[in-house]
Amino acid sequence: MIDVEEGFTVTEVFDTRTLAEAPVISAPDGSAVRPLCVLPGAGSFAHFRLEPGEIAKAVVHATVQEIWFVVAGDGRMWRRQEGREDEVDLRPGVCLTIPLGTEFQFRSGTVALEVVAATMPPWPVESDDEARPARGPWQPTF
């Protein structure tokens, strides 16, 4: 632990990762995810990918919320929360939120969809039920 100034303490060392070195794991929704950096207690960052024509399972998170930014490809995102629904075209440069308690599902279009996302608080890797099944508009391919 390093005291930086009165009332502020740094408890973690720097974290640096490359996308190429990150392991590819299957997210609960079926997408390929590469976990990247984590700030314990604050947030985590990851890269998600769906191949052309793939449709993720619809899910709702139990404890986390996310901000997504599309970096490549195309697709659609469906979200539902408290009776409100919307669908959003996904293309490079689109940024969107998935607030706590939002059911969501996403799909790729004609090319692979790639998204980076910040998760707050960090994704609970020890939890098997963070992403709970939901009913989305599309039949998943996983």
Over residues 97-131, the pLDDT tens digits come to 999 999 999 999 999 999 999 999 999 998 999 99
pLDDT beyond 60 at 48: yes
In angstroms, the CA 129 to CA 23 distance is 21
In angstroms, the CA 25 to CA 6 distance is 41
At 58, is the pLDDT very low, low, confident or very high (cuts 50, 70, 90)?
very high
Sequence-separated (6 or more) residues with CB below 8 Å from residue 84: none
pLDDT of amino acid 13 = 80
Tell how strand 65-72 and strand 95-98 pair up: antiparallel
Averaged pLDDT score across all residues of the chain: 93
